[in-house]
A and B are shown apart, each in its own frame.
Chain A
Amino acid sequence: MSSPGSFGRKRLASAVAAVGALALVAGCGGSDGSATGGGKKDGKTVITMGMFGVMGFKESGLLEKYEKENPGVEIKAEIAGDEQTYYTALQTHLAAGNGLKDIQGIEIGRAKEITETQADKFADFSKTPGTDHFLPWKQSQITTKDGKVLGLGTDAGPMAVCYRKDYFAQAGLPTDREQVSKLWAGDWKKYVQVGRTFKKNFKGGKVSYTDSVSGLFNAMVYGYPQQYYNENGDLIYDKNPDVKRAWNLAADAADAGLSAKLRQFQPGWDPGLANGTFATAVCPAWMLSHISEKAGDKNKGKWDVARAPKGANWGGSFLGVTEKSPVKAEAQKLVAWLTAPEQQAYIFKKLGNFPSSEQALERADVKKVTSAYFSNAPIGEIFGAAAQEIPDKQVLGRKDGTIKDTFTQGLALVEQGQSRDKAWKTTASRIDKAVG
């Protein structure tokens, strides 16, 4: 009787093998609801967040505060350093409909692309109460044509110039922020001119005037209402004289050898900050937290903040909630709380990320904010004044973020000694490829 038994076992074994193989395949195709974000378990609501850079919510302890005030809510935040890397992953997750967090950060350079192509994957904030406190231009950037609001604004990016007082003193330049602001008031060309003086007079070793000329380029470009696209969504970067002017001035600075040729937001930038290899950085408000974190305590008080020659808005982000999130309502509530005026004011005081909420800006305590790290610079006043100069209308385009990154690389070529015309041609052909 043993033989039929072994016979059956073998048949069973082959059946198991085949079924197992099929199950393997089926496992890849199927997707269950829990693939997106957190969820509710054991009476706890878990909300997941995906962010980039220093958006400040985790760093300032606001997430913990929310958890304390709302028992039963657990927030899991994942933070990528580099926005391009972050956005690539976000795009992949959106396309796959898998791996998304409940709350996702959206950078301004991606806002247009998200509103045009991914609107159905984000939840609508237009009916969320208490969200009418933003700067007039901020929320329109994340609103679709048919009025769906895909996120709430976090910060804005008014510009200033961060500089090292000790290096300026060694180069015989003024160190007081009022006088430094006057050095280049009104024109970015003067900023480059000061750089030439710095380079000539500084004798204290290997210190460059600025970290990377791409910062200068961005600051100039974002000072105009139109940058790479016009209002019809046509690509106009190659015809826009403002872009060309910014490119040429940045290339002038590169040719004059003013740049430390560092790549902003990449690991190589950080030791540059820590060891002080450059004297100035064109800094939007949100860059302050990065500088203070990476330059570290030993450089505390050496940095200061002066007004930028001309106002601009570089960066600033939004928080969106994914449509498929199992805890959509809770996530939207969290986002509304995180972007509320009090919290924006709190982050500004703590880290320097500038509020995009008009109500936050009107608060007296925001206007009076100073930064201990940056020699007690009155950053509330400096960035508040800079925010007034931000163009009320900013035309965004689908590939703004990618084009910005491509220009950054193009300017790196000029920094390496390539002619600006050749680098421009390379950049243009890359942009053609990128916009498809």
Chain B
Amino acid sequence: MATSTTNALAGEERAGPPAKSPDGKSGRKRGALLHRIDLKGAPYAFVAPFFVVFAAFSFYPLIYTAWISLHHVELATLDSMQWVAFDNYVDLFKDSRFWNALRNTITIGVISTVPQLLMALGMAHLLNYRMRASLFFRVASLVPYATSVGAAALVFTMLFERDFGMINWVLGWVGIDPLDWEANKWPAQVAISTIVIWRWTGYNALLYLAAMQAIPADRYEAASIDGASRWKQFTHVTVPGIRSTIVFTIVLSTIGATQLFGEPLIFGQGPNGVTGGADNQYQTLGLLLYEEGWKNYQMGRAATVAWAMFLLLILVFVAQRLISRLRSRTP
């Protein structure tokens, strides 16, 4: 890019017609100026679309949300905003629903992420073996990821239905009484986590698989010469080899878990979806935001929840950096 531009510059100077008119000098000057702008400016112009879109769709909403969160605003009367400073934040931190939603977000996050990543690791390990139809299995593991949240959540909601759901029906074979999945806290959270696990395990498995295939085969050879069993190879060669990918999937899953919204909304169906159960037993922060905004129509408070979520993510990120820095300092 840089070299071709210099050539273009040289080319123009060679090919440029001799200045004849009295203002030819200034003309050339202007040309040079334009050229310099082009040289310096073009890269910015090329990346501009991203940043303009980012500014319009991310940065502006972010700032505007912060501005709204300092007001009392109702959806029906968006143009009349009443300044309340940080009252919304103070109320939110005093609100038991917020802490309940935060706890639910964390517990559902743990219930869904930990098994999901462990299963993905196991699956990737199996897919890494040489076997028949490996391409088929690899594609198949990605199918849930390609399914829309809505479709997946709807099907699982029917499976977990109290009276006529398949899961209660199967449980009935082994003599377990039908469980009201939606109405009870832990069953509901497990059911929602199941949807998340089903959708994301294959995706993570493929990420792990890609990382595993980058591990040089001679490490395994060396390990087996040293007499390491399959399991030892897995824990001492494979896992350290894909460490950075594991960290990456943990970060992704954490962000995903913080923003969990669609699955519980559809799982609850209607009003219970919006409030995360009649007792808010599976209300996540995302749902609390939705309830404030689109059931109570209080946009100020909804914006406050959104910012609290954002600040929480930053807090987690900073804490994680601090811990990793401390750990790298101690030998």
Contacts and interface: CB of A to CB of B under 8 A. Distances in A.
B6 to A, nearest CB: 11
A183 to B, nearest CB: 27
B75 to A, nearest CB: 5
Contact of A88 (B48, B275, B295, B298): B295
Interface string B6-18: 0110011001000
A214 to B, nearest CB: 11
B162 interface: yes
A88 B291 CA distance: 10
B87 interface: no
B164 interface: yes
B8 A91 contact: no
Nearest to A29: B56
B49 interface: yes
Interface string B188-211: 000000000000000000000000
Contacts of B56: 24-25, 28
A142 B110 CA distance: 49
Interface in B34-57: 34-35, 38, 41-42, 45-46, 48-49, 52-53, 55-57
A272 B295 CA distance: 27
B269 A267 contact: yes
B27 interface: no
A409 B38 contact: no
A261 to B, nearest CB: 7
A433 interface: yes
B313 interface: no
B8 A17 contact: no
Most A CB atoms within 10 A — which of B157, B164, B297, B298?
B297
B154 to A, nearest CB: 9
Given A3-B11, A4-B15, A416 B278 contact: yes
Interface SS of B by simple majority: helix
Contact of B52 (A1, A7, A24, A434): A24
Given A25-B56, A436-B298, A95 B45 contact: no
A364 B250 CA distance: 71
Interface in A419-436: 426, 430, 433-434, 436
Interface string A69-96: 0000000000000101100100110110
A95 B75 contact: yes
B76 A94 contact: yes
B45 A14 contact: yes
A91 B297 contact: yes
Nearest to B294: A88
A10 B281 CA distance: 58
Interface string B270-301: 11101100110000000000001011111000
B78 interface: yes
Interface string A380-405: 00000000000000000000001001
A25 B52 contact: yes
A147 interface: no
A128 interface: no
A261 B45 CA distance: 61
Contact of B15 (A3, A10, A95, A430): A3
Contacts of B7: 3
A430 to B, nearest CB: 8
B277 to A, nearest CB: 9
B78 to A, nearest CB: 5
B125 interface: no
Interface residues of B, number: 47
Contact of A3 (B12, B74, B274): B12
Most A CB atoms within 10 A — which of B7, B48, B72, B78?
B48
A413 B48 CA distance: 53
Contact of B270 (A4, A85, A91, A95): A85
Contact of B162 (A7, A268, A418): A268
Interface residues of A, number: 54
A84 B279 CA distance: 18
A408 interface: yes
A436 B12 contact: no
A91 B8 CA distance: 57
A266 interface: yes
Interface in A1-26: 1-4, 6-7, 10-11, 13-15, 17-18, 20-22, 24-25
B252 to A, nearest CB: 27
A6 B1 CA distance: 13
Contacts of B38: 7, 10-11, 14
A17 B46 contact: yes
A263 B273 CA distance: 12
A433 B269 contact: no
B77 interface: yes
Interface string A294-307: 00000000000000
Contacts of A418: 279
Nearest to B55: A25
Interface in A33-66: none
B186 to A, nearest CB: 14
A118 B75 CA distance: 11
B163 interface: yes
Contacts of B180: 261, 416
Contacts of B263: none
Given A3-B8, A436-B298, A14 B41 contact: yes
B270 A84 contact: yes
Interface string A247-274: 0000000000000010101111001100
Nearest to B16: A4
Contacts of B15: 1, 3-4
Contacts of B157: 267
Contact of B49 (A24, A266, A426): A24
Contact of B164 (A25, A275, A409, A412): A275
5 contacts: A22-B52, A84-B295, A91-B76, A266-B270, A436-B297
8 closest A-B pairs (Cβ-Cβ)?
A3-B11, A14-B45, A21-B52, A412-B278, A21-B49, A117-B76, A266-B270, A25-B56
Given A11-B38, A413-B278, A434-B295, 5 more contacts: A1-B15, A24-B52, A25-B52, A271-B164, A275-B163
